[in-house]
Chains A and B, each alone.
Chain A
Amino acid sequence: MATKPPWFWQREKYTPYLLLLPAVLTLLFVVLVPLLFSFYTSFTGYRLIRPESLWEWVGLRNYRRIFADGDFWSAFGKTIIFLTIALNVEFLLGLGIALLINKITWGQRTLRTIMMFPMMFSPILVGYQFKFVFNDNIGILNNALQSLGLSDGAIPWLVDKYLANFSIIFAEVWMSTSVFAILLLAGLFAMPRDPLEAAKVDGCNPWQVFRHITLPFLMPFVFIAMTIRSLDVARAYDIVDVMTGGGPAGRTELLWTLIARTGYDNARMGQANAMAYISILLSIAFTYYFFTKLLAARQYMGGAE
């Protein structure tokens, strides 16, 4: 008796597509369709308060306005600076913490758990926590400085232009350094012992061992962390929105707070979506950059993988 030929989805060839179908469908529905829709609205004069304006085609007007908009480019520049500083500081601190904890043999598990403490905080919670800590009147920081006699007045951490930016970066670094630390620690655990021993036998000092053996081995982990973090950059929105709301006078305005303000507070959805498109390009650039770095670092490691 001849067996019935299998349905086309039962053929081995189609199995991977079938397995990926739910993921692809979800992403199409939640990411791609909204993106195409917002791409369309970025060419209209859409305002939330006037639904009929969704059909009002204005061509490139929104984009032309953005290019002439000083506020947008200032937020764009600040976002790049913010990301660069935050990512580098997080990397250096994370590396330091990972090396320290790796050295410690007693109580390491407890330290690892403490180290991951900030990862469990909701970004919005981090925002409020540091709004509280940096509060000029009842904040723990000013209280501590005054009790120690280091300052006699209330320091306006969230109001002064430079201090506000510092405070926001501090909060961001506090929240995300553990992501770097945990990934780098994972890297240190995975490191083969032989090259380290060999280098010590050959008379390398600790710095040389670190520079020529440990660091190259860790680089893929660094780029993984950078990739993950640049995928998550939008989380900074919560912190900034809560701590300063982009103020004082736009001094801490990043792309995402500006977009939210344009879209919801000023109800100019079309304009906001045009801005969002440019900011997405920035995110993609960061991610792509770190991804190529990661591939190169893997190549460099070659057999070590």
Chain B
Amino acid sequence: MSGSLRKKTGAVVTWLLTFILMLIICLPGLWVVLTAFRPNGEVLAKPPIWIPQNPNLDNFAKIFGLGANQVAIPVSSYFMNSLIIALTSTAIALLIGMSGGYAFARYRFKFKNGMFLGMMLSRTVPGIALSLPIFMIWSRLGLIDTKMGLIIVYVALNIPFTIWLIDGFFRQIPKEMSEAAQVDGCTRWQAFWKIEFPLAKSGIASAGIFAFLTSWNEYALASNLTRSTDSKTLPVGLMDFTAQFTIDWAGMSAMAVIIIVPALILTFLVQKHLIAGLTFGGVKG
């Protein structure tokens, strides 16, 4: 009797704790989302208005340049830039990562451990430390303010982690499967595409989501290597809302929603692969 009562209290405490934690996790983001739908006067109101009194889409219309009071911020071109840069760099990083990860998982070769450690260490260089020399070299090469310039940088940023994860996934797949396929007359290349790639697909997808999020959210390098609407990305565009002493909180919140939503949708779509992906990719070396 007392045992089942204790079990029940335990369950209630667990749920209560979880609820509070989830609230803390969600509340700051939720506040920003709510603000995106408020008129500016309500944002600055004292005493605060907790629940939006007349929620509307004015802030979104404003930053997209529709409606009466416009903010001259080219959100649509930032969005396109971000999308092109993040998708392209993710695709390239995955191709390079698959090729490298396959090499680490399936072959024995000289300098293997050294190369692996070197690749990992290349990721320890903070982006901000890298931004100074890259800026100087990119300006010589004419890569400043181009999408290509950022894509190259993001591919390099994502390679180490991508290789590491994908290496882990290929290790999960028994070597014998592709060997059997080769005995049956497949070339190594065909064996890869028909056997190993489909099996590692969900793992590669979770490596892809990490690469996409890194590129989509990166700011320090993008802010140094971009100048105009040719290449500015959404995180850099966020800065357009700050004047010397004031910040347009409502407009910025609307922009924040625009940045978050694609990331949210994508993560939601692959989230069931994510945990499995991390279990295998990360720990089994």
Contact = CB atoms under 8 A, between A and B. Distances in A.
Interface in A251-272: 256, 259-260, 263-264, 269, 272
A117 interface: yes
A279 B271 contact: no
A26 interface: yes
Given A233-B126, A280-B124, A26 B155 contact: yes
Given A23-B159, A31-B125, A143-B48, A117 B26 contact: yes
Contacts of B48: 138, 140, 143, 147
Contacts, number: 255
A120 B278 contact: no
Nearest to A22: B96
Given A111-B22, A113-B271, A234 B126 contact: yes
A206 B80 CA distance: 53
Interface stretch (A58-66, A186-194, A208-216): A186-194
Contact of B278 (A182, A264, A286, A305): A182
Nearest to A190: B279
A183 interface: yes
A116 B267 contact: yes
Task: Pick from A33, A147, A186 the residue with the most CB of B within 10 Å.
Answer: A186
Contact of B134 (A30, A122, A130): A30
B129 A124 contact: no
Task: Pick from B46, B97, B130, B284 the residue with the most CB of A within 10 Å.
Answer: B130
A122 to B, nearest CB: 3
Interface residues of B, number: 92
A287 B124 contact: yes
Given A20-B99, A33-B137, A185 B275 contact: yes
Interface in A131-154: 131-133, 137-138, 140, 143, 146-147
Contacts of A137: 46
Interface string B1-37: 0000000000000110110011011111101100100
A189 to B, nearest CB: 6
Contacts of B122: 27, 31-32
Given A17-B109, A37-B137, A122 B103 contact: no
Interface stretch (A84-92, A100-108, A196-204): A100-108
Contacts of A244: none
A124 B238 contact: yes
A31 B130 contact: yes
A107 to B, nearest CB: 9
B137 A15 contact: no
Given A128-B256, A183-B282, A279-B126, A238 B220 contact: yes
Nearest to B266: A120
Contacts of A272: 132
A2 interface: no
Contacts of A143: 47-48
Contacts of B156: 26-27, 29-31
Interface string A165-189: 0000000001000100011011101
A189 B24 CA distance: 25
Given A125-B260, A138-B43, A256 B126 contact: yes
A146 B237 CA distance: 34
A264 to B, nearest CB: 8
B28 A174 contact: yes
Given A115-B25, A190-B279, A305-B284, A124 B219 contact: yes
A228 B179 CA distance: 34
A191 to B, nearest CB: 10
A78 interface: no
Nearest to B98: A19
Task: Pick from A41, A114, A178 the residue with the most CB of B within 10 Å.
Answer: A114
Interface string B231-271: 00011001000000001010011001001100110011001
A221 interface: yes
A74 interface: no
B18 A34 contact: no
Contacts of B136: 37, 41, 269
B26 A15 contact: no
A261 B275 CA distance: 39
B84 interface: no
Nearest to A272: B132
10 contacts: A19-B102, A26-B159, A27-B156, A104-B14, A116-B271, A120-B267, A133-B28, A174-B28, A231-B123, A305-B284
